[in-house]
């Protein structure tokens, strides 16, 4: 079926769509999420094994203020990518948004992954973190799909929690203190809440033509969860 301009103007949510259309939206969303995770993994593996990403990682770790600049740039790129992915006039722009966000995540993960790769059991940490992330994601996703509960009430809580977490991260960079494992566990809980919220949105809020935007939101939450699970495994080595 050809995509028309009207397809981008869909005003009803996936929950209000016909079962076939809703099922297609869900399949597309998770297929795009799986594709994003696969591309992310392959790009990181190439950059680390080839050494092509080493200069980028070293520049990003040049100092705590360098990381503050990186964090600010990442937030700006994320907002632009999300805006593009939510385009209601251009499918190409939606994919540009997803691609831009994917590249931003690959770059911001480089320093962390290089540090872990330097450990004697670094690849075991990658594997364990990947398995835990996948298990938590599947468990949280199952909760939403089995209960059909609307977790939209988590939106304001996540917004406030996000600002608090960002404030702590910025303060740690400015004043040179370390955020320990307690913060990492709190961020794992935050990412879990984000997965519940975004998965609930797939059933109750997103429109059937927003599978690209939905997959980007899920990928962002999964990446955040993976980041802090890695940090927890790293913390156990110290």
- Reading the chain (238 residues) residue by residue, the pLDDT tens digits are 344 444 555 667 676 777 888 889 999 999 999 999 999 999 999 999 888 888 888 888 777 678 888 889 999 999 999 999 998 888 999 999 999 999 999 999 999 998 898 887 888 999 999 999 999 999 999 999 998 888 999 999 999 999 999 999 999 888 878 888 899 999 999 999 999 999 998 888 888 889 999 999 999 999 999 999 999 998 766 5
Helices (H), the chain: 19-50, 54-60, 64-85, 91-117, 122-147, 154-175, 181-204, 211-235
* Structure-derived torsion over alpha carbons of residues 177, 180, 183, 187, reported in degrees to the nearest 10: 110
Instruction: Give pTM, 2 decimals.
Output: 0.90
């Amino acid at each position: 079926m050809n995509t028309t301009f009207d397809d981008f103007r869909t005003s009803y949510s996936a929950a209000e769509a016909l079962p076939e259309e809703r099922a297609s939206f869900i399949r597309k969303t998770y297929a795009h999420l799986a594709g994003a995770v696969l591309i992310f993994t392959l790009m990181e593996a190439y950059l680390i094994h080839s050494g092509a990403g080493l200069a980028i990682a070293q520049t990003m770790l040049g100092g705590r203020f360098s990381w503050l600049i990186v964090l600010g740039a990442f937030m700006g790129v994320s907002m632009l990518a999300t805006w593009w992915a939510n385009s209601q006039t251009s499918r190409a722009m939606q994919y540009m948004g997803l691609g831009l966000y994917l590249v931003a995540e690959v770059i911001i993960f480089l320093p962390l992954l290089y540090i872990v790769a330097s450990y004697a059991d670094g690849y075991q940490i990658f594997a364990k973190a990947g398995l835990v992330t996948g298990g938590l994601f599947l468990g949280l996703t199952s909760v939403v799909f089995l209960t059909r509960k609307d977790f939209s009430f988590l939106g304001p809580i996540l917004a406030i929690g996000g600002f608090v977490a960002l404030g702590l991260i910025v303060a740690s960079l400015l004043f040179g203190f370390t955020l320990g494992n307690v913060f990492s566990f709190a961020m794992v809980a935050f990412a879990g809440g984000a997965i519940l919220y975004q998965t609930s949105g797939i059933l109750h809020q997103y429109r059937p033509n927003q599978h690209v935007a939905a997959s980007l939101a899920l990928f962002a939450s999964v990446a955040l969860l993976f980041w802090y699970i890695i940090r927890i495994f790293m913390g156990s080595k110290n």
